[in-house]
Structure 1
Amino acid sequence: METGLLSFGPLTLDLRAGHLTRDGQAVSLRSKAFAVLDQLARRPGEVVSKDALMAAVWPDVTVTEDSLTQAIRDIRRVLGPEARDRLRTVARRGYALHPDAAAPAPPKRPRIALLPLQRRSGGTEASDLIDGLIEEITIGLSRFRSLAVIARHSAFAAADEPGLDLPGIGARLGADYVMDGTAHLAGDQLRLSISLNDVATGEVIWAESLTCVGHRLLTLQDLVPRRIVQSLALSAAEGARRQQTSNPTAFAHYARAVSLQRQLTTEQERRAHDYLLAALRLDPDFALAHCLLARAEIALEGFGLSSRAARLRAREHAARAVELAPDEAQCLSMLGFVHCYLEDWQAAETLIRRAIAANPCLSDCLADMAFVCLCRGRPAESLTWLDRAEEINPLKPPAHDVLRSEALFAQGHFDAAARALASLPQLGIRQLVRLAAIHACAGDSEGVRRHLDRAFALDPAWDCVAAAERSYLFEHDRDRQHLLGAIRAALRLYAGDAV
């Protein structure tokens, strides 16, 4: 099972991506039923007891065997008559899953990175527009499952590293192809000169100059991916066009917001929020603008520190995005992300699984799945999803290190958890308190003192326990108490050290 793929007649279960397909099409299965299937698939041919399945799928929740029976019934329904007998009931013992031989590994997909375009004119607003457009093209390209597309964060980070030429950037990202070029914005006219380069040979596979005025700008996120796919002699039949606006000014506002949100500062998030509101004033039915505005509502108040009112506003926008674009992975995942903040765990996981089934190549969706698994008390699964996200986004954003640290802490790997969190380029007060808690668990009083000194220098009145109770999301109280107990232990060590 090295590939993580198991087949059942016409069905294929991808344990790493977390989805089930029939003849290549996603199959819907409720999250608890999928979790049961996952547990059985990881032990093919073995009898797994009912007690073991219930403990794994419903931890710390009292349910009857009826819940497990219903999940088994759901699994057999989706397996269908041709594969139903692969799931066997073993009287008084449990269940056993007998898949076909492990499905063969799929052929290696070409990896491609889209680099930032060199700007020949325009100020900050032009730069934000062009960078946002490249992200939209990147997401559009990710819908073609014959390609592995490097996330925009990693592509831009590698391009910013000094001394790297195109082959060096390709090697840094593990990319087979890179797209680069120039952009010239004058008034409402955007002129692009772009090329697709083979990293190994230096050969230019495809090059084109495009001039866009007004509404033609709206075609780029569909046109450029198809040109790339066709130049690589891959099928362009897949990759349905993303839901967009017909208003070029609304799209320009949206593209600027996309770029600003990636800069991860409160001021840029506020500017992105304003651009998204402006886009929606021009086109109230612009689904992707609603999607990003949902994130902005929570981000502006510090994510975990956000008020319930902000979270409800976020849900309103995310739900509207899914209503307008029900098959758009980014919108589905955002609504699931918001449901986490409202502690509606089942809905959150179901929506994010739907997003991954719609597009398994979006790093943000995979990271959202890592987040929901962590919140639900499944740190090992969270790390698996995070690894998947970082295959696409190898020069990972800081949020990935935070998630990794929290998952490692939940598993009791304190040294690794501290290293992951300490690698952040900038530590805020919550990260400093968390580091102190990790060092307390490891018995390192010097580490506790060092980090709490820095935390209280930022805010001497900071209530470490109350802030943690409010800002961290947990489905199970045992996980919350594990963190709060570590913070209290750090504070005791710190108080004793001060005396």
Structure 2
Amino acid sequence: MLQFAGFELDEKRSELRRLDGETIKLRPKAFDLLRLFATRPGRVLSKHELMAAIWPDVHVGEDNLFQCIREIRTALGDEKRELIRAIAGRGYLFEPEVSGSTDAAPQEAIPPKTKSQTESEPTVGWRNGKIRRRAALIAIAAVGVSALAIPAMMLPNVFVASPPSVAILPMATASGDAAVARMATGVISDLTDGLAKIETIRVVVPPGAAIKEADLVLNSELDKTETTWSLRANMIEPATGAVKWSTSLSVNLTDIDPQLQRTRLTAAIGNALAQRINALLTSGNRSVDGGPTGTAKAAIEQATASINQTTLERFRTAEAMLEKALADDADSVDLRVALAAFKLRGIQLSWFPETERQTVVNGVGAIMERALHARPDYIPVLETHCRYLSATNRFAESLVACGKALALDPWDGSALYLTGLAQIYLGRFDDALATFKQADRFDTPQVSRWTWGIGAGWACMLMGRADEALPWLQRSIKITPASGRTYFLMAAAYQQLGRVAEAKAAIAKGMELRPGSTALNAPPPSSNTSGVFLKAQERIMRLIVEAGLPEK
């Protein structure tokens, strides 16, 4: 048992706890990494040492390491990076003093877990009622953070209700192909691991009699063609026999390696499933749909159908469509957040006149206040709240809101993009790039692909890596060519690389999309941002001006 900074690490039970006994969930690899740090306090460990110990004999990218470190920092509340410090050019240092004893010798590498250990871990945290009560307390705390009052009469129900159990059955395969069977097994393993991080549900995996008493059961089937993976899934409520959710999805298997194919298949089904379960749980009635239906659903789908290719004219038409639908159905939370998100995207693309911008922001704030009051733990509400906080330069608060959304859907690409955006403004460029790359690996929702493209390109430019930024920006523009800001960033990349003619062409296209742009009004917001960001962004603006952006 090791103690440090108000926490204790129980190696035998593979648990991280606060000193008051509250268990904090960590994925197996993140726990192993924290254990490695805690057994070597005060010593700088290189990235190579860390990756060799946690992923022995397996080739993984540095993003896997960064993701585990982010998860540990979140678990320890280490937002200021005082417990795990990055030592430039050398690695990472675990700063706290550690007391207690460990079963591992200080210099030993952590042995890899067996397959049986890894597969059984997702259900460990739900074996007793204490964890359920903690989940209820965490939910109440989360609501409190957003400054929403809970009527006292509601509290008993929160403590009585237990998380619904979701049984994950082995994925069937449509053929006897061994490669398909291996992929199916891998996707189910990754899906179970991801769902186990969601505190509002309890994951059940065969074998075990508990599966017969599960509240929801997931069935799925995987097939493969020459160019795509095809996955079908449905979720049934055994008590009634009702199908609560079904989906058919496909992932391209050309031009991407098998590991990325597996990641995207897992993310595609995991994102849709987590969103569906969340809609059911936050509807106030598990027997009803919980998501947009009827006229509201049609209006949202029509308004966002061509969002990637949106022009100003289409934007205004879709905005009017959503406003009319909301006027006809004023109580629809889904319409509220769809309209708020749409308006925030208009602000992001500078489609509102500067004189109108603050009025729009205030209007979105009013919409979000009502939506948060109605359904404070609904993922679309949390996503849009995160976007609103980002648009109003409240970046630290935006990280908290995004963290809530990701706690309910670990594959939420929109929340990952907004997390990366906040990290950029706070001067954490390496973290931001890793976050955008994670969103790109998940590729969910696909409608947001252009956002993590521009995000990754921007992060690279802020670090002075124009050659790495250019492919990301080109990809973003190919998906959504209506963003003038992307063209300006591309101009800076071309200018830094000495490709002056291409830089000027990019400026011309950016000016066409954002007429009247100058060095005074084109820069992103500066309030509540870090000095590191401001200095790096100033360098980018100089490149854009050199490429042809008017100074005034």
TM-score range, shorter chain: 0.5 to 0.7
1:248 to 294, 301, 305: 294
2:151 matched residue in structure 1: none
Which AA in structure 1 matches 2:303? A
The alignment status of 1:430 with 2:485, answered yes or no, reads yes
Alpha-carbon contact 2:344-2:387 (below 8 Å) kept: no
Change in CA separation of 1:41 and 1:290 when aligned onto 2, cut-off 3 Å: farther
1:319-330 correspondence runs (5 A): 319-330=369-380
Alpha-carbon contact 1:144-1:239 (below 8 Å) kept: no
Which AA in structure 2 matches 1:388? Q
1:479 matched residue in structure 2: 533
Alpha-carbon contact 2:337-2:371 (below 8 Å) kept: yes
Which AA in structure 2 matches 1:289? L
Alpha-carbon contact 1:175-1:199 (below 8 Å) kept: no
C-alpha separation in 1, matches of 2:14 and 2:373: 29
- Describe the SS at the equivalent of 1:199: strand
1:390-405 correspondence runs (5 A): 390-393=440-443, 397-405=449-457
Change in CA separation of 1:8 and 1:431 when aligned onto 2, cut-off 3 Å: same
C-alpha separation in 2, matches of 1:431 and 1:482: 17
2:277 matched residue in structure 1: 239
Deviation at 1:443, TM superposition (A): 4.3
C-alpha separation in 1, matches of 2:111 and 2:376: 33
Change in CA separation of 1:301 and 1:44 when aligned onto 2, cut-off 3 Å: same
The alignment status of 1:364 with 2:414, answered yes or no, reads yes
Deviation at 1:381, TM superposition (A): 1.1
The alignment status of 1:416 with 2:468, answered yes or no, reads yes
Change in CA separation of 1:8 and 1:389 when aligned onto 2, cut-off 3 Å: farther
C-alpha separation in 2, matches of 1:268 and 1:375: 30
C-alpha separation in 1, matches of 2:318 and 2:168: 33
2:319 matched residue in structure 1: 273
C-alpha separation in 1, matches of 2:456 and 2:25: 31
1:156 matched residue in structure 2: none
C-alpha separation in 2, matches of 1:389 and 1:359: 13
Query: Percent of aligned pairs with the same residue?
Result: 14
Alpha-carbon contact 2:387-2:398 (below 8 Å) kept: yes
What is the RMSD of the two structures over their aligned residues, measured on CA atoms? 5.3
Change in CA separation of 1:324 and 1:383 when aligned onto 2, cut-off 3 Å: same
TM-score, normalization by structure 2: 0.50
1:54-203 correspondence runs (5 A): 75=76, 94-96=95-97, 107=119, 198-200=222-224
Deviation at 1:312, TM superposition (A): 2.1
Which AA in structure 2 matches 1:198? L
Deviation at 1:300, TM superposition (A): 2.9
Change in CA separation of 1:348 and 1:482 when aligned onto 2, cut-off 3 Å: same
Deviation at 1:11, TM superposition (A): 7.6
Deviation at 1:368, TM superposition (A): 1.9
Deviation at 1:384, TM superposition (A): 1.9
- Describe the SS at the equivalent of 2:522: helix
Alpha-carbon contact 2:416-2:436 (below 8 Å) kept: yes
C-alpha separation in 2, matches of 1:39 and 1:428: 40
2:495 to 437, 440, 459: 440
Deviation at 1:288, TM superposition (A): 2.0
- What are the ranges of 5 or more consecutive residues in structure 2 without an aligned counterpart? 1-6, 17-21, 44-72, 85-93, 104-109, 121-164, 170-174, 188-218, 235-241, 249-265, 284-289
Deviations 1:160-190 (A, max 9, x none): xxxxxx9xxx99xx8899xxxxxxxxxxxxx
C-alpha separation in 2, matches of 1:393 and 1:269: 24
Deviations 1:389-412 (A, max 9, x none): 223217772222111100111122
1:224 matched residue in structure 2: 246
Change in CA separation of 1:462 and 1:262 when aligned onto 2, cut-off 3 Å: closer
Change in CA separation of 1:263 and 1:491 when aligned onto 2, cut-off 3 Å: closer
Alpha-carbon contact 2:436-2:456 (below 8 Å) kept: yes
C-alpha separation in 1, matches of 2:504 and 2:370: 47
- The answer to which of 241-250 and 353-362 deviates more is 241-250
C-alpha separation in 2, matches of 1:252 and 1:452: 38
Alpha-carbon contact 1:433-1:451 (below 8 Å) kept: yes
Alpha-carbon contact 2:456-2:472 (below 8 Å) kept: yes
Change in CA separation of 1:430 and 1:473 when aligned onto 2, cut-off 3 Å: farther
Deviation at 1:455, TM superposition (A): 4.4
Deviation at 1:145, TM superposition (A): 10
Deviation at 1:362, TM superposition (A): 2.0
Alpha-carbon contact 2:220-2:232 (below 8 Å) kept: yes
The alignment status of 1:378 with 2:428, answered yes or no, reads yes
C-alpha separation in 1, matches of 2:431 and 2:520: 28
1:257 matched residue in structure 2: 303
- Describe the SS at the equivalent of 1:317: helix
Deviations 1:211-257 (A, max 9, x none): xxxxxxxx98x44369xx9xx9xxx9993416447873333323433
- The answer to which of 274-283 and 195-204 deviates more is 195-204
Change in CA separation of 1:447 and 1:324 when aligned onto 2, cut-off 3 Å: same
Deviations 1:9-56 (A, max 9, x none): 47868xxxxxxx947699xxxxxxxxxx9997894434359xxxxxxx
The alignment status of 1:295 with 2:341, answered yes or no, reads yes
- Describe the SS at the equivalent of 2:523: helix
Change in CA separation of 1:453 and 1:94 when aligned onto 2, cut-off 3 Å: closer
1:407 matched residue in structure 2: 459
Change in CA separation of 1:386 and 1:277 when aligned onto 2, cut-off 3 Å: same
Which AA in structure 2 matches 1:300? G
C-alpha separation in 1, matches of 2:370 and 2:450: 29
Which AA in structure 2 matches 1:475? T
Which AA in structure 2 matches 1:421? L
Change in CA separation of 1:302 and 1:366 when aligned onto 2, cut-off 3 Å: closer
- What are the ranges of 5 or more consecutive residues in structure 1 without an aligned counterpart? 1-5, 14-20, 27-36, 50-71, 78-85, 88-92, 109-142, 148-165, 178-194, 209-218
C-alpha separation in 1, matches of 2:333 and 2:343: 16
C-alpha separation in 2, matches of 1:8 and 1:311: 45
- Describe the SS at the equivalent of 1:480: helix
C-alpha separation in 2, matches of 1:378 and 1:274: 38
Alpha-carbon contact 2:399-2:422 (below 8 Å) kept: yes
Higher relative contact order (CA 8 A, sep 6+): 1
- Describe the SS at the equivalent of 2:96: strand
Which AA in structure 2 matches 1:325? R
C-alpha separation in 2, matches of 1:321 and 1:309: 19
